[in-house]
Chain A
Amino acid sequence: MANNDDKIICRCEDITEAEVLRAIEQGTATADEVKRLTRAGMGHCQGRTCRRLVNQILARKLGQNPEDQKPVTQRSPLQPISLKILADS
């Protein structure tokens, strides 16, 4: 089996578990901070796929209670829309 640290957490931005762990070592404690430091969650799906995984790692590493974790800031548009469609809207 591949080394666990090489596991891709954010498929859109190609961010591995090792990169998320490094961000936590540097002192980040929220998914928002991990997102800004590693870009995990800034990809095409806007974190739909990876947010839960990042939160799980944070919970595991820092003993956070999942219910207490701060939600990541949601930015519109919630689905990618082309410049052309927006310009004509």
Chain B
Amino acid sequence: MPKSTDIIIIGGGIIGAATGYYLSRAGYRVQLIEKGYLCAGSTGRCIGGIRQQFTSEGSIKLMLESVRHFSDMKEELGIDVHWHPGGYLFLAHSPEKQEAFLANIAVQQGFGLKDVRWVDAYQAGQIAPGLNIDGLLGGSYCPSDGQAYPFAVVNGYAEKIKSLGGIVNTFTEVTAILQSGGRVQGVKTVAGAEYQADIVINAAGPWAREVGLMAGIEVPVEPERHEALITEGVDYLNIPMLVDYRADGGYFQQFRHNGQFIGCYSPIPNVPGHSTASSYEFLQEMPKRMLKLVPALGPVKVLRQWSGSYENTPDGNPILDRSPLDGFYVIAGMCGHGFMLGPAIGRMAADFIKNGAKEPPVAEFALERDFSSQEAMK
């Protein structure tokens, strides 16, 4: 069996592509294997939001790093990924939310997110022209949060992997992980091809559990359906990403590069499973929620709706670790934040693999951990 690469990565989403890029840069020959087209999984279905407002040290620091990568990407990858620091505004309509945001802001500033701040309802209305401030107490605002275009980012990474000597296989499904004597040997594809490598990475996003099981490794990632829609492009209104955590809230933003509004909400109850069906309920409900926040958007036309999977772990933190099978790594379970985390996670994963450390770089990201604590700004 010919060994053409050092590292095989399963999954052509943001995590596989970013990790592959940083490993290629570190001198490894990488083979990225994707069962569909690049971004066929969650990455091509996400709404492109990038924020640093989290509550755990690990996530905040990773996101500070990711934002640096996104802002350097045009130069680094030689492709315009439409990075735009348009900000994120989390809305508080109750004293409890206000209190929670104020506490989070203190934590975030403590970990180096200097420009996050509390704004009152009037200021929120200035920051987001047209925002309905009825019943609004204020919000948590961070102007250096932003947006980028997922297809461009992943394509940029994939092109770099190729130009650095790696291989990108699309429409190639991995069906088995080859192993012997407690060490990973490579993968087998649906067409029966076998590829050998000393290191195999499970970056299969919502399918990380299934791919883990091919290696006999339990990976606690559960897919959960989230729907989204996008409108036609209109003049840029300079509204940051608006996040409304109320039961009938949602989140949406406007792309700077083409003026389209894109948004989604988290359904109650949640919808577990791999389904990517779209519902008429969402197509009626999401516009209601958007217009409740910014009534002036009424005439803007919806072009498309779709759905994709969040890839949840029980505690809301990612998994970035080696596994009991020597050479088999798991980098998955980004819990609906994988696009924004991707660049920093990819960099961290590459360093981890390169330095051969036994313990994962962030204890909170261990594969075998106590999953009972919770990331609060999920």
A36 to B231, Cβ gap below 8 A?
no
A63 within 8 A of B: no
In the bound complex, what is the Cα–Cα distance between A51 and B211 (angstroms)? Answer: 35
B258-291 vs A: 1/0 string, CB under 8 Å?
Answer: 0000000000000000000010000110011011
**Candidates A28, A37, A75, A81; contact of B278 at CB < 8 Å:** A75
In the bound complex, what is the Cα–Cα distance between A28 and B170 (angstroms)? Answer: 9
In the bound complex, what is the Cα–Cα distance between A46 and B304 (angstroms)? Answer: 8
B297 to A76, Cβ gap below 8 A?
no
Residues on B with C-beta less than 8 A from A32 are 37
B78 within 8 A of A: no
Residues on B with C-beta less than 8 A from A76 are 278, 283, 304-305
Q: Which residue of B lies closest to A45 (CB)?
A: B303
Given contacts A26-B159, A28-B37, contact A87 B291 (CB under 8 A): yes
In the bound complex, what is the Cα–Cα distance between A75 and B230 (angstroms)? Answer: 11
**Candidates A46, A75, A80, A83; contact of B287 at CB < 8 Å:** A83
A27 to B284, Cβ gap below 8 A?
no
In the bound complex, what is the Cα–Cα distance between A44 and B302 (angstroms)? Answer: 9
How many residues from B make CB contacts under 8 Å with A?
28
Kindly name the residue among A26, A36, A80, A87 whose own CB sees the greatest number of chain B CB atoms within 10 A.
A87
**Candidates A27, A77, A80, A84; contact of B170 at CB < 8 Å:** A27
A2-13 vs B: 1/0 string, CB under 8 Å?
Answer: 000000000000
A-B CB contacts (within 8 Å), total count: 73
Nearest CB of chain B from residue A27's CB, rounded to whole Å: 7
**Candidates B168, B283, B298, B305; contact of A27 at CB < 8 Å:** B168
Nearest CB of chain A from residue B353's CB, rounded to whole Å: 26
A50-89 vs B: 1/0 string, CB under 8 Å?
Answer: 0000000000000000000000000111001111101101
A33 within 8 A of B: yes
In the bound complex, what is the Cα–Cα distance between A36 and B38 (angstroms)? Answer: 9
B304 to A84, Cβ gap below 8 A?
no
**Candidates B44, B151, B231; contact of A83 at CB < 8 Å:** B231
Q: What residues of chain A have their CB less than 8 Å away from a CB belonging to chain B?
A: 26-28, 30, 32-33, 36-37, 42, 44, 46, 75-77, 80-84, 86-87, 89
Q: What residues of chain B have their CB less than 8 Å away from a CB belonging to chain A?
A: 37-39, 44, 151, 155, 159, 168, 170, 231-232, 278, 283-284, 287-288, 290-291, 297-306
Of the A-B pairs whose beta carbons lie under 8 Å apart in the complex, a sample of 22, sorted by A's number, is A27-B170, A33-B37, A33-B170, A36-B37, A37-B151, A44-B232, A75-B303, A75-B304, A75-B306, A77-B305, A81-B301, A81-B302, A82-B298, A82-B302, A83-B290, A83-B291, A83-B302, A86-B283, A86-B302, A87-B287, A87-B291, A87-B298
Given contacts A83-B291, A87-B290, 5 further A-B contacts (CB under 8 A): A32-B37, A36-B39, A36-B151, A80-B232, A80-B303
